[in-house]
Structure 1
Amino acid sequence: MARRMLEYIKEQPEVWRKITDGRESLFQGAVEKLQQPAKRIVILGSGSSYIASMAAADLYEKMLGLEAAAVVPTRLDGLLRLLNPEETLLIAVSQSGKSTSTIDAVKKWKARGFRILAVTADEQSPVAKEGDIHQFIACGEETVGPKTKGMTATVLTLYFLGLALGRAWNLGDHGDSDRFLEELNQAIDAAPSNIEKSIEFCRNQADLLAVIPHVTILSEDAGYYAAQEGALKLLETLYIPAVAYEFEEYLHGVNNTIAPGMCHLYLPASEKNVERMAALDHYTREKGCINLIITVLDWEEGSHVLKLSGNQNPYLSIFETLPAFQVMSVFGSERRNIDCDKPKFPDFYGVLNTKA
């Protein structure tokens, strides 16, 4: 069980490398059609595509100084009334290109005169056909429901798309872009080893993954997006409640998750909170919590700590630490006798009309 999902997880470094090495030609077509600068970018998506959109919008603001927001398709009506089509680029993200809520939103915005850039892994999909411009997600086939390589390839595609638009629109600092690319290459090079470390770690933690009743995941900065996607993966595959909190938000009142037998997953993403997160780890373990740490930062050794290789750029957590959550999904679901290669409810999307 979950064999196919594990194969997709292991394919990720090669997918990222191909996108990175082929970025000049891969993004040239879309950028050439978007020479007119936008004042702002609105990115919409559902599920993993929404999390990828949030990570990209955050990066666009930080590196390009461009107003950007990520929104789920059903929450766009307020923005539709406020924004000017001449100043706004709408990016519609859907790996399959079949999300009905995304299709409906694109039609509505297009009718109001907004430029639509569709980002999908299927050029013949409904979302791709509705867009004015299409950007391909070069992730390859992914047939299982819990997305792994498709999600990370979507983030990488959106990152490179933003950097390419930044150059075309004369936004951001080229030196920052060069440093980001260097750090990204380091993350890609380290990924195969990190995945193998994650497999060994999760195999050793399989008995724990079989019995934990609930998972609380904490991270910070842009590492929060990896935590959100990690929570979604565990929820999709272990069939238990899993929720991600931004570190400071958790400290401000969600301490009722501290109880004997409860599982906390810490994802330290920047040096500024290492000591405080370590203090929380010690405090909650003293109270009986079962904690796991996944990080590329310096951390004390222990059987509950997965130390991965990487740099200290939180925007790369998607490529450095998220695969560990994906691997956790594989071993946890197998230990719980759940076949996450197959949908639990095959008729669900058809009955609820969420996929075209």
Structure 2
Amino acid sequence: MMKSTLLQEYIAQQPVLWRALLDSREEITAEFSRRFGGFQPDRVILVGSGSSHYAALMARPVLEHAWGTEVTCLVPSEAADARLTAAHPLYFAISQSGVSTNTYDLVCQLTNAGRAVIAVTEQPNSPVGLAASLSIPLRIGTERIGAKTKGVTATVLTLMLLALSVCQDKSYGQRMLQALDRLCRNAPENLSRSRAWSHAHRNVFLPFRHLYVLGCGNSLGAAQEGALKLLETNYLPVSCYPLDEYIHGIQNALDGDACLCACCRPKGQIGTACCA
């Protein structure tokens, strides 16, 4: 058996990490729900770069249902220039390291303007954490690697738990917590099957020199994060597109060196197409 890489070790830690977050949700969300449980925003804005942005996109459907309002996901440069229509917005600044310069500058700008900003970061005493109105720690333990995995999924889960802690639709909140419990229980087997599938098909993928990843609807954030992980670990060109953008000309770039991976509905399977 091949020795696990550091990346694989962090991936394997996720089920235990998710269970710990779920079981500690009242402690994690207590201060947030105390300070913002009675606040009804007319828009929720999630700001982050790279994996933090994609985590926001993955969490967005739950946040929209929990607050019953529009949730907008932006990178810091977009948020700084955007004219957002909202009288009572609630901002989340997401940065695993807490030292993202653009995110920090935006948090300072927003708090100076009197806006409420919640930082979600591994380091509450980081620049982003200290500049925010409230800092929620990401309880992920050590992840000293560039290609983040458990930190990304922990960010998604933490955002969901924060939203569910103030959700007025108790029936929805209960269903979501039950779904998250099933996720934790099924995760070890899902990871085992994913590893087996990857090992069985690795020789199919190795010859390709350009990868295209497609997503649609609520799967787009996961598709973008998957594309980033492929790029960070394989050092190959990887492009990610929404399905409806891809069919407007991008398919013309496919050739024998390209592999197409589709993360699309209706049933959520991951499909692949190898182009000859």
TM-score by length of 2: 0.90
Residue identity matched to 1:16: W
Q: Is 1:8 matched up with 2:4?
A: no
- CA distance in 2: counterparts of 1:26 and 1:40, whole angstroms: 23
Separation of aligned partners in 2, 1:69 and 1:57: 8
Q: CA deviation at 1:136?
A: 1.4
- Show the counterpart of 2:46: 43
Q: For 1:232 and 1:163, how far apart are their aligned partners in 2?
A: 28
Does the 8 A contact of 1:53 with 1:155 survive in 2? yes
Partner of 2:100: 99
Shift of 1:208: 3.5
Aligned to 1:212: 208
User: 1:223, CA displacement in angstroms?
Assistant: 1.6
Question: Structure 1 residues 248-257 or 25-34, which shifts more?
Answer: 248-257
Are 1:217 and 1:266, in contact at CA under 8 Å, matched by a contact in 2?
yes
Looking at structure 2, the residues matched to 176 and 186 of structure 1 have their Cα atoms a distance apart, in angstroms, of 15
CA deviation string 1:312-348 (max 9, x = no partner): xxxxxxxxxxxxxxxxxxxxxxxxxxxxxxxxxxxxx
How many angstroms apart in 1 are the aligned matches of 2:62 and 2:131?
A: 26
Q: Which amino acid aligns with 1:3?
A: T
State the identity as a percent. 33
Residue matched to 2:62 = 59
Aligned mates of 2:217, 2:66 — CA distance in 1: 14
Pairing 1:150–2:151 present:
yes
CA deviations over 1:144-195 (Å, ceiling 9, x no partner)? 00000000000000111112132xxx3xx32222222222222221111111
- State the match for 1:242 in structure 2: 238
Q: CA deviation at 1:125?
A: 1.0
Work out whether residues 66 and 163 of structure 2, in 8 Å CA contact, stay in contact via their aligned partners in 1.
Answer: no
Q: Deviations over 1:53-108 (max 9, x none)?
A: 122234322454212111111112333x5555x60111111011110111111011
Alignment of 1:82-161 (within 5 A): 82-83=84-85, 87-161=88-162
SS of equivalent residue, structure 2 residue 165? helix
* Letter matched to residue 98 of structure 1: V
What amino acid is the match of 1:103?
A: Y
Q: 1:118 touches 1:135 (CA, 8 Å); kept in 2?
A: yes
Q: 1:203 aligns with which of 188, 191, 199?
A: 199
What is aligned with 1:189?
185
Per the TM alignment, residue 110 of structure 1 is displaced from its structure 2 partner at its CA by 1.1
- 1:139 and 1:221 map into 2 onto residues whose CA distance is 28
Name the CA distance, whole Å, in 2 between partners of 1:242 and 1:58.
26
Q: Distance in 2 between matches of 1:256 and 1:217?
A: 15
Q: Deviations over 1:257-289 (max 9, x none)?
A: 443342111223433x98xx98xx6xx55x63x
Q: Secondary structure at the match of 2:166?
A: helix
Question: Tell me, what secondary structure is at the counterpart of 1:60?
Answer: helix
Q: How far is the alpha carbon of 1:205 from its aligned partner?
A: 2.8
Answer yes or no: is 1:179 the counterpart of 2:175: yes
How much has 1:2 moved relative to structure 2?
Answer: 7.1
Q: Distance in 1 between matches of 2:121 and 2:4?
A: 25
Q: Secondary structure at the match of 1:222?
A: helix
Within 2, Cα distance between the matches of 1:6 and 1:56?
Answer: 24
Question: Which 4+ residue blocks in structure 1 deviate beyond 4 angstroms?
Answer: 81-84
Structure 1: gaps spanning 5 or more residues: 289-356
Which one is further off, 140-149 or 243-252?
Answer: 243-252
Structure 1's 270 and 137: CA in aligned 2 closer, same or farther, altered over 3 A?
farther
The separation in 2 between residues aligned to 1:30 and 1:134, in whole angstroms, is 9
Residue in structure 1 matching 2:74, options 71, 76, 85: 71
Cα offset, 1:115, TM superposition: 0.9
Number of residue-to-residue matches in the alignment: 273
The correspondence for 1:22, drawn from 24, 27, 34, is 24
Relative to the length of structure 1, the TM-score reads 0.71
CA distance in 1, matches of 2:79, 2:132: 17
The code of the aligned residue for 1:56 comes to A
